[in-house]
Amino acid sequence: MNEMERLVKKGDMVIVTSAITIAEVLSTNMPADKRIDFPRLFGRREHVLIDVDRRVAVHAAQYRDHYVTCGDQYAPKTLDGADSIHLATAVREKCDAFYTFDGIDGKHVERRVRKLLQLNNQVASDSLTIVAPSLNTIAQPVRSGLFKNP
């Protein structure tokens, strides 16, 4: 069991995610048994699913606009729509950290879309720790951005 799972089971970490996670995850080639089990995770105390409301959507749109206007005029880079919703959800829920693998491969330079790891501590005017999950980054109980303290 990895450290993150241990913290969740112990009650020191709560996983918080936007409802669009269901659409993202269930649209993959997930085995049938996992497709049934995945939505059940969010009926548990340690897994919180946040609905996307107007405030989150507007906040997400502001992030996208911010990055288009501050980018290179010949190659503006915005945020992916789903990523901007995840970030807005994490900030609105006051999560301590946002864990993602988005951008860990370093291929963010080629695309017109910013990768999330590039935005660590600088999500437009908001501060949010964005890191790749590892045993080193999860050393203490956290309210994580798409994870948080109970």
Domains annotated for the chain, with CATH where assigned, are 3-148 (3.40.50)
Q: Give the CB-side neighbour count of residue 85, counting CA atoms within 13 A.
A: 17
pLDDT bucket at 60, cuts 50 / 70 / 90: very high
| 140: DSSP letter | S
Half-sphere exposure of 60 (CA within 13 A, CB side): 20
Give pLDDT tens digits for 2-15: 677 777 778 888 88
- Residue 59 confidence (pLDDT) above 90: yes
Q: What does the DSSP 8-state code read for residue 3? A: H
Tens of pLDDT, residues 71-129: 665 555 788 899 999 999 999 999 989 988 887 776 555 566 788 888 899 888 899 99
Residue 104 makes CB contacts below 8 A (sequence gap 6+) with 117, 132
